[in-house]
A and B are shown apart, each in its own frame.
Chain A
């Protein structure tokens, strides 16, 4: 459960036209291209870094995890079988949609994130800092969109085997990847871990930052309006500690990204992941603004080698 102490109990929204009542958003899950509530009927309050109540978001359950995995598996053949050019275009479209909603994300990231010092001082993250996060997130997505039709040429190739055979090796997506999104960096961190999973053709089940889920849910709305096939990304909000073991132990999940899990909690999940020999990526918390390189692209691919005789 969230640990932030609310300062006040009534939801506070940005100032609006004084004569008009704002229409508030219901924050739900994103599974198979739809936005359902949790099947459990549960929700939990989310507060801004300053302590204001922002919303009650869906608190996903074990069954929601399973539904999300089913949706991700169903989407895998289509997404992994799409041309790399097509995947690149769809991902670029995501960046276009994200850029078009920059102001919304700047406001949400600003509400969600602030430094300890700023909390102490009772300030919100400055709009400039939030804007820098959103801009970096858009650029990060564009970066990975461009990789989708280039990565295979960087890491694949022909094998000069000693015999009358043509042999080549190519990267292929691992399958369904369970992504435990970073807890602190609510948007830039999320896109930095999700985009490389998708660029190489995997589908994903994402568990959003527990205390800062609103940018992630809004990002799911971006995905839903970007020609991304339903089920390619499924996003759950709720308790990471509750949901992660079900994802880690799920036999139809091929890989796990533990970015959003503190080191002390990773061991138990890695043990569960061994049940079906999951690929587990457990990096140190990086500087999300730094050049990401290509290591995340390599974390969730398989190398396939194909042989055929040469003859007349």
Chain B
């Protein structure tokens, strides 16, 4: 309930999106060489994290399926795909973009069911930005010679792509679109807990009549990911996920000629100066850490606020958090949905408990969490020291750690004091300070007076242990072109 109890408050009426729109099927199959088939691995139930009920059964891939998928991708690469004129490849990508738009509502509901994210986000961000990525890279397919990679850039070959569960469809689009635009073929592995939208994307790709084998989608767990990484006939690996797994992949590829791009973890600082428009900053802080339940590699998980406005800002942040609606992901009023899995929830709990144990002060707004499902209330820690685990480790949940600073130099020092370097935020009305901070923050994306903005034309990726390579924009082509 709002803290502003004195003014009249209109209650929200439930506005649930119908789960029928998702056209859930009882079972889903993997996609190899243009055909759907049961994988040779286990049949696994994917569950709705909002209520822990099974959504569908997925016949996961086994090692033999990896071999078949890579062989199919190789045949498609040597056969029709790499020889196809760019303008024809581009038209296939345009078809995919349009089909995602046409089936946008279905994909959004399915994404919210499988992932737990609010329908408002899957509808307004995940699905439209996924379509936009295909649309953007479609246009590059016949213009690669103008990209600055030489007059006649060549594809790399077969790309193995492994994506996380936080933006299942969007990450598939980020990976597949530039790979295909450059003339590569793809073996994609969605995350084990969120395979459904990638498999519907495979359906869209089949209906767009792409040549068999150009895109192959293998549902499965880490062993399937490892099999793709280790396969001798894969030319390039693109991975989005944890820094820990990214390092394992980098080690695995040592001594091989395989290309690698990594988009890994983060611990972004969101820096608020005393001259910032505080109401806007509060909205940016909320968006920064509670968007997608904080399960975002570029989440603004460390709030650095100038000491002189810290009390005022935290007070207004807490008032704002009391208005957040946590609950049914399919309700259009919902701001914060479910945590994706029991394992992730356990990690968030473990790290939050360490915050309390190490002496930080924990606060959450009053909110009722559903009895079933994986839920975690929005949480703010104050009195956080840079040495605390909650200030150093990626929590990947709706947990904000607040630290304070006095001078811009101290803010920079604290912001950059991390092995990560994916993103950062700066809030101030002073233009020269924005540009100075932006130049000195060691992070791949700096949002000034905004946060968590994504666009297919804007390169995204990390410094330091947040990975290497860029996705999006002209820069995103580089990972999929031979050099």
Contact = CB atoms under 8 A, between A and B. Distances in A.
Interface string B455-483: 10111110111111010011100100001
B438 interface: yes
- For the residues of B in contact with A, the DSSP-based class is mixed
Contacts of B465: 276-277
Given A277-B243, A277-B464, A279-B468, A307 B251 contact: no
A20 interface: no
Given A159-B459, A303-B459, A308 B475 contact: no
A305 B459 contact: yes
A230 B459 CA distance: 34
Nearest to B453: A307
B264 interface: yes
B449 interface: yes
Contact of B254 (A174, A274, A307, A309): A274
A152 B264 CA distance: 25
Interface in A25-75: none
Given A169-B473, A274-B247, A307 B255 contact: no
A161 interface: yes
Nearest to A166: B448
A304 interface: yes
Interface stretch (B82-90, B185-193, B439-447): B439-447
B53 interface: no
A295 B483 contact: yes
Contacts of A309: 449-450
A303 B254 contact: no
Contacts of A85: none
Contacts of A169: 458-459, 473, 475
Interface stretch (A112-120, A138-146, A263-271): A263-271
6 contacts: A169-B459, A251-B419, A277-B464, A277-B468, A304-B444, A305-B473
Closest 8 CB pairs of A and B: A267-B255, A270-B254, A274-B250, A161-B455, A159-B458, A274-B251, A271-B254, A308-B448
Given A159-B458, A274-B251, A277-B247, 17 more contacts: A159-B473, A161-B455, A162-B457, A169-B459, A251-B419, A267-B254, A268-B254, A274-B250, A277-B250, A277-B464, A279-B468, A302-B463, A303-B461, A305-B459, A306-B446, A307-B446, A308-B449
Interface of A: 81, 154-155, 157, 159-163, 165, 167, 169, 174-175, 251, 254, 266-268, 270-271, 273-277, 279, 295, 298, 302-309
